[in-house]
């Protein structure tokens, strides 16, 4: 029983972190792509100015991973 509980917690962490990372990378990619297509300069400065927004949006990915774990969607 103890092993299943530890395995379940590892699955929860994996799902939550992978969803967080996926949403974070997609958020940065598409935001920077839109900025670049619009003729923006200094992309790295643009990313550093908006890192807080990326982290806030990526939190929804962490919560989505938790919901997938909670309802057993795999």
Residue 19 has pLDDT above 70, yes or no: yes
Distance CA 34, CA 32 (A): 5
Residue 34 has pLDDT above 60, yes or no: yes
Distances (CA, A) of 43 to 4, 19, 34, 70, 71: 46, 25, 11, 38, 39
Distance CA 35, CA 7 (A): 42
Distance CA 20, CA 59 (A): 6
pLDDT digits (tens, 9 = 90+) for 42-74: 888 988 999 999 999 999 999 999 998 888 876
């Amino acid at each position: 029983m103890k092993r299943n509980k530890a395995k379940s917690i590892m699955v929860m962490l994996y799902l939550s972190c992978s969803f967080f990372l996926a949403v974070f990378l997609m958020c940065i990619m598409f935001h920077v792509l839109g900025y670049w297509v619009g003729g923006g300069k200094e992309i790295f400065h643009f990313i550093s100015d908006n890192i807080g927004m990326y982290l806030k949006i990526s939190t929804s990915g962490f919560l989505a991973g938790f919901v997938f774990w909670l309802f057993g969607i795999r």
